[in-house]
């Protein structure tokens, strides 16, 4: 994150010196996890601590994980490089932050008009996605795992009401990942920043709108205090996977049972994290509407259609990328999406539409 995360070279150097050689005493390894989040931020900050605790527990205490929030050892957006270089052993963040490393990485986090949380997990475990995930992160000396998902995100907080596509032209908007490319294609002025900077931007008018995650996390940051129009659906991120990446050298040095402890800790948290988001997002939204004057609004149809056309362009561009691995990732992703999507019309979509016709939700 950008907000005052500057750490002097001397501090980073000292951290690197102290962390590069993990302690091994009486069979106990001590690893440092750096995260992209403020300490215990509802949603991802909580999930990061859950992961650190679960790895420690599943290892029988032989692999102790100490969590360092964004800015404590390295900036939030610096965790990828820190773990790649061995300054820390593992990080908790989202793939959407690493598009500057490779555009192919972005598909493992969220995709405009793309996979839901369960489909995303299915792609990695049953559609060949994990092998490609491993291959692209190996370029950066990392071993990656998915370890949670926010579920459907929102289109975000808008200072003013949106009535048509024209209202988005030049609108200063915070988002990230492939969603930022989608919004840029329809004329929005996209900016990348952390949640606190987004709050300040909305407060001062430097931003017109922005999205972060969803009601539970967003209300903890306080966006409802500076923008009252909350728009859905968040077509830029139908789900957003959270990831743990481990320094590949440190991971290779683990005995097999501790490798399994790390792997299973990540895998076993995916559903608990996702369902906690779902439960607490619902509770938070009810509170925001009832008590804080938030207006829930639906994106106009012409906006959704324009975003959809932009999303198609993005996938076409990825499928023709100059990087052969990016092309293979895109081909594999599209094959899985197109094989599962038609079934969902009858399965999940059918069930939700039937329930809505009877119960109204």
| Per-residue pLDDT of the chain in tens (361 residues, 90 and over written 9) | 433 333 333 333 333 334 444 445 568 999 999 999 999 999 999 999 999 999 999 999 999 999 999 999 999 999 999 999 999 999 999 999 999 999 999 999 999 999 999 999 999 999 999 999 999 999 999 999 999 999 999 999 999 999 999 999 999 999 999 999 999 999 999 999 999 999 999 999 999 999 999 999 999 999 999 999 999 999 999 999 999 999 999 999 999 999 999 999 999 999 999 999 999 999 999 999 999 999 999 999 999 999 999 999 999 999 999 999 999 999 999 999 999 999 999 999 999 999 999 999 9
Q: Is the peptide bond before 247 cis (omega within 30 degrees of 0)?
A: no
Is 189 exposed, middle or buried (CB count within 10 Å of its CB: 0-12, 13-18, 19+)? middle
Q: How far apart are CA 300 and CA 112, in angstroms?
A: 17
Q: How far apart are CA 82 and CA 16, in angstroms?
A: 8
What are the C-alpha distances in Å from 321 to residues 28, 82, 102, 316, 333?
A: 45, 27, 11, 9, 14
Q: What SS3 class is residue 303? A: helix
The candidate with the shortest Cα–Cα distance to 310, out of 156, 183, 166, 211, is 183
| Binding residue positions for substrate | 153, 174, 211, 237
Q: What pLDDT is attached to residue 194?
A: 92
The domains located in the chain, with CATH, are: 14-152+239-279 (3.40.190.170)
Q: What SS3 class is residue 63? A: strand
Q: What pLDDT is attached to residue 27?
A: 84
| Binding residue positions | 153, 174, 211-212, 237
Point out which residues pair with 127 in neighbouring strands.
none
The candidate with the shortest Cα–Cα distance to 307, out of 361, 231, 252, is 231
| Binding residue positions for Na(+) | 212
């Amino acid at each position: 994150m950008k907000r005052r995360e500057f750490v002097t070279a001397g501090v980073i150097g000292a951290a690197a010196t102290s962390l590069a050689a993990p302690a091994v005493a009486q069979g106990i390894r001590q690893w440092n996890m750096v995260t992209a989040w403020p300490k215990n931020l509802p949603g991802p900050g909580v999930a990061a601590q859950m992961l650190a605790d679960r790895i420690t527990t599943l290892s029988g205490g032989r692999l102790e994980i100490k969590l360092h929030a964004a800015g404590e050892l390295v900036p939030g957006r610096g965790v990828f490089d820190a773990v790649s270089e061995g300054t820390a052993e593992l990080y908790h963040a989202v793939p959407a932050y690493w598009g500057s490393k490779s555009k192919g990485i972005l598909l493992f986090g969220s995709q405009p008009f793309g996979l839901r949380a369960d489909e995303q997990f299915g792609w990695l475990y049953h559609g060949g996605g994990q092998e490609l995930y491993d291959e692209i992160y190996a370029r950066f000396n990392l071993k990656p795992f998915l370890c949670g998902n926010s579920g459907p995100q929102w289109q975000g907080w808008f200072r003013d009401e949106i009535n048509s596509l024209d209202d988005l032209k030049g609108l200063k908007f915070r988002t990230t990942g492939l969603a930022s490319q989608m919004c840029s294609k329809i004329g929005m002025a996209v900016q990348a920043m952390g949640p606190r900077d987004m709050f300040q931007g909305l407060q001062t008018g430097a931003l017109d709108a922005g999205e972060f995650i969803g009601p539970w996390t967003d209300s903890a940051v306080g966006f409802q205090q500076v923008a009252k129009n909350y728009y859905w659906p968040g077509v830029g991120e139908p789900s957003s996977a959270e990831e743990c990446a481990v320094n590949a050298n440190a991971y290779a040095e683990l005995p097999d049972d501790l490798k399994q402890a790390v792997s299973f800790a990540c895998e076993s948290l995916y559903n608990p994290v996702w369902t906690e988001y779902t439960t607490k997002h619902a509770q938070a939204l009810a509170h925001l509407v009832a008590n804080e004057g938030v207006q829930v609004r639906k994106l106009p149809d012409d906006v959704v259609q324009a975003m959809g056309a932009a999303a198609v362009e993005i996938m076409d561009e990825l499928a023709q990328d100059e990087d052969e691995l990016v092309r293979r990732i895109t081909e594999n992703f599209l094959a899985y999406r197109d094989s599962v999507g038609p079934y969902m019309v009858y399965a999940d979509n059918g069930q939700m539409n039937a329930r809505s016709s009877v119960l109204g939700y």
